[in-house]
Amino acid sequence: MPTPSLAETIDPATARALAEGRSGDPFAHLGPHLRGKRGSVAALIPGAARAWVLAEGRKPAPMAPHPVAPDLFLGPLPGLGPYRLRAEAADGATWDWDDPYRFGPVLGEIDEYLLGEGTHRRLWQALGAHPITHEGAAGVHFAVWAPNARRVSVVGEFNRWNGLVHPMRRRGATGVWEIFLPGVAEGAAYKYEILGADGHVGPLRADPVGFGAEHPPATASVVRHPGWDGWNDAGWMADRAGRSDVTAPVSIYEVHLGSWRRVPEEGGRYLSYAELARDLVPYAADMGFTHLELLPITEHPFDGSWGYQPIGLFAPTIRHGTPQEFAAFVDAAHRAGLGVILDWVPGHFPTDAHGLARFDGTALYEHADPREGLHRDWNTLIYNYGRREVANYLIANAVYWLQEYHLDGLRVDAVASMLYRDYSRPAGDWVPNVHGGRENYEAIDFLKRMNVLAYGECPGIVTAAEESTAFPGVTRPAHAGGLGFGYKWNMGWMNDTLDYIRRDPIHRRYHHNQMTFGITYAGTENFILPISHDEVVHGKGSLLDKMPGTGWEKFANLRAYLGFMWGHPGKKLLFMGQEWAQGREWSHDASLDWHLLRDPAHAGVQALVRDLNRLYRRLPALHRGDARAEGFRWLEPDDAERSVFAWMRSGEAGDAPVVVAANFTPVPRPDYRIGFPAPGRWREVLNTDAGVYGGGDRGNLGGIETEARGWHGQAQSAAVMLPPLSVVMFEHAGAGGPAGEVP
């Protein structure tokens, strides 16, 4: 019996729909099918004049075009084995390929169930583009969520970016579309063409779960393997929990990889991940930092967003190399004793045409109502946290980075903008919650679930919230009613102390409480004290530039401020360049001014930060009580007239206390009496006025002896020399070794 004609087996309306890209069920018609009593193969081949079915050991079998859709061909099915197709264009060019429509689905029933339920913890293993071998053929499995689309096609060089060639299979009610394309390999660029519910084809879209991307300004996704199989950090992973605990010395070096250092001999190009592993990692380790925090390295189209407007949430930016090279960078950091924290942005996304905005022709990832879905400050869109698939997408993304790239934590950006429906909105421009209030219950629930899953799935990690309000319980466990973060950035401390230190010392007496107020709430959350990139950009000047006075006084003020910060309860975070007093404000377009380290004043600040980090790690009193009220005690909080502060830090039982004193005027205080908690000799383990730091070498000749004279509520006291614009620290002579020594 002859093969039935296409006109007999595929009706004209269906044929036109296939040829015009309007069919939402291409697998029902294309590929091998039983038509009548014989098997046949249908293939949509735009640009072909003739076509054949190929099977091993058989002559090529001609295929016939459909009478109303000449790009649609039908030929005989050559048995039950695999077959290939061949086409010839009008100019005589020919090409052969495996028919993707002869392959069955890749996603299983469990995937389909979890995707539909919005609980797929390994979402990235189901969606995205995965090089696999399927039914004996090597290729790539593509899967994307677009529930309101009429048709989704994957496009790339492999099909000349023609959306008519590879329409995908819809998986039931999940809204997921998939296809396996044999012959496609890692490195292929691709996008999705989507026919929306309104019947219009939107702009080509990058893959929301793409693991790689083209170099900007190109915007396609690229087929990549996520993660790495060359890890050599098992020892680090096994004991990393103790390195970020609230009782550990956590000192974070915040870095923008694109401007930490560049290669001027090659047009100022970025360093690669391999070069950053070679240069940045040993530098941060030598400086005594415990963690690197990377400004967002998720793929983003606009350099000027610094990564805070990401589109490729699952892709390490190609600006510095491949996913495997990024993983090797993390591995190098771990082997050097450094944790790596990723700045993560689940609060909003940009409106770029190739991104998530109205992805399938509808407000899919975002809210439809701009009063909920538009972030007016940044002209970005806000995720719809109440939609289970969107929350699943973001939560799985958090776990993805922690698992696939062994990251040690996530710093969650702009949490305050997520918690409140009226954030930065005038009256009438926001939608109240179900109780008429301003709290965003859906975002709150999302953050709790993200933290629960991240900590549960990835032992030893830590999450930190950039949260600028007094929202309660940010670092309280989710099961106890909190948001479940490990740390919260202390924005109040940062704002108060920077406002104080920028004032002329003669006026500081009137703002004394700005330096003491932070202690009143220091034990309410697990705090990080951040001097971040946000404080040294957009006209705010560098940290050095904020300091008043002459050139010498600016450096002295800065050294004293850093000493105050390291002596204050809370983990530490310093943005790159501030550890050696970068002179100008940060620019993402240029390298830091490393040549300044030839100046002894800048080199002195660098030496100070290195010693502060080492001292912070060596002395338990300076870090074990960072998040406990009993870890701090004022000795002198009220001497506003002389702008002097003195306090005591303590750790756990058996840890020797540390006494810290600060003088924020340019007037030396040669006989300033301070109470001490124990008798005997106290070593001066840090003096920000030391000559090695660029100071005047005024101090206490290595230490002091106390006398039995009650002061500041202590039975012992001593007259101490407080140099101008300085911080000094004292350790009891019976404890530890010299300053800067690290066990």
Euclidean distance between CA atoms 277 and 257, whole angstroms: 11
* 685/637 same-domain check: yes
Could you read off the pLDDT of 246-273 as tens digits, one per residue?
A: 999 999 999 999 999 999 999 999 999 9
Could you read off the pLDDT of 498-510 as tens digits, one per residue?
A: 999 999 999 999 9
pLDDT, residue 5, reads 56
- Phi/psi of residue 393, nearest 5 degrees: -55, -45
Is the per-residue pLDDT at 737 higher than 50?
A: no
* 140/199 same-domain check: yes
Residue type, 552: W
* 293/391 same-domain check: yes
CA 147 to the chain's CA centroid:
28
* 332/431 same-domain check: yes
Q: Is 655 labeled as catalytic in the residue annotation?
A: no
Q: How far is CA 20 from CA 65, 162, 163, 199, in A?
A: 15, 11, 10, 12
Is the per-residue pLDDT at 376 higher than 80?
A: yes
* 186/261 same-domain check: no
Q: Is residue 166 part of a domain?
A: yes
Parallel, antiparallel or unpaired: strands 571-575 and 527-531 = parallel
Is the per-residue pLDDT at 3 higher than 80?
A: no
- Phi/psi of residue 652, nearest 5 degrees: -100, 175
* 341/449 same-domain check: yes
CATH number at residue 337: 3.20.20.80
Euclidean distance between CA atoms 338 and 334, whole angstroms: 5
Cβ(113)–Cβ(126) under 8 Å?
no
Strand order in the sheet with 137-145: 128-134, 137-145, 176-182, 169-171
Cis upstream peptide for 65 (omega within 30°): no
Report DSSP state, residue 249. -
Could you read off the pLDDT of 601-658 as tens digits, one per residue?
A: 999 999 999 999 999 999 999 999 999 888 999 999 999 999 999 999 999 888 899 9
* 288/394 same-domain check: yes
Query: DSSP labels for 719-737?
Result: EEEE-TTEEEEEEETTSS-
Active-site entry in 112, 293, 466, 496: 466
CB neighbours of residue 587 within 10 Å: 12
Cβ(93)–Cβ(100) under 8 Å?
no
Euclidean distance between CA atoms 220 and 218, whole angstroms: 6
Q: Is 466 labeled as catalytic in the residue annotation?
A: yes
Q: Is residue 58 part of a domain?
A: yes
Choosing from 202, 222, 242, the residue where a domain stops is: 222
Parallel, antiparallel or unpaired: strands 189-195 and 312-316 = unpaired
Q: Which of 636, 640, 705 is nearest to 674 (CA)?
A: 636
Mean pLDDT of the chain, nearest integer = 94
Could you read off the pLDDT of 34-79 as tens digits, one per residue?
A: 866 678 999 999 999 999 999 988 999 999 999 999 999 999 988 7
Q: Which of 641, 688, 625 is nearest to 662 (CA)?
A: 688
Report DSSP state, residue 408. -
Could you read off the pLDDT of 550-582 as tens digits, one per residue?
A: 999 999 999 999 999 999 999 999 999 999 999
Q: Is residue 532 part of a domain?
A: no
Report DSSP state, residue 360. T
State which residues form the domain around 113. 109-222
Choosing from 440, 461, 482, the residue where a domain stops is: 461
CB neighbours of residue 340 within 10 Å: 23
Report DSSP state, residue 539. T
Length of the chain: 743
Is the per-residue pLDDT at 283 higher than 50?
A: yes
pLDDT, residue 482, reads 97
pLDDT, residue 34, reads 80
* 266/404 same-domain check: yes
pLDDT, residue 734, reads 64
Task: Provide mean pLDDT across the span 542-548.
Answer: 97
* 42/120 same-domain check: no
Task: Provide mean pLDDT across the span 472-487.
Answer: 97
pLDDT, residue 36, reads 66
Euclidean distance between CA atoms 349 and 383, whole angstroms: 8
Is 199 strand, coil or helix?
A: coil
Active-site entry in 331, 360, 413, 636: 413
Q: Is residue 274 part of a domain?
A: yes
Is 141 strand, coil or helix?
A: strand
pLDDT, residue 697, reads 96
pLDDT, residue 1, reads 40
pLDDT, residue 738, reads 41
Task: Provide mean pLDDT across the span 140-164.
Answer: 97
* 344/408 same-domain check: yes
Q: Is residue 444 part of a domain?
A: yes
Could you read off the pLDDT of 662-720 as tens digits, one per residue?
A: 999 999 999 999 999 999 999 999 999 999 999 999 999 999 999 999 999 999 999 99
Cβ(661)–Cβ(646) under 8 Å?
yes
Is the per-residue pLDDT at 4 higher than 60?
A: no
* 371/455 same-domain check: yes
What's the domain count of the chain?
A: 4
* 156/286 same-domain check: no
Cβ(43)–Cβ(73) under 8 Å?
yes
Q: Is residue 565 part of a domain?
A: no
CATH number at residue 193: 2.60.40.10
CATH number at residue 683: 2.60.40.1180
Choosing from 80, 102, 124, the residue where a domain stops is: 102
Residue type, 284: A
Among 168-177, 523-532, 732-741, the minimum mean pLDDT is found in 732-741
Could you read off the pLDDT of 308-355 as tens digits, one per residue?
A: 999 999 999 999 999 999 999 999 999 999 999 999 999 999 999 999
Q: Is residue 445 part of a domain?
A: yes
pLDDT, residue 735, reads 41
Q: Is residue 515 part of a domain?
A: no
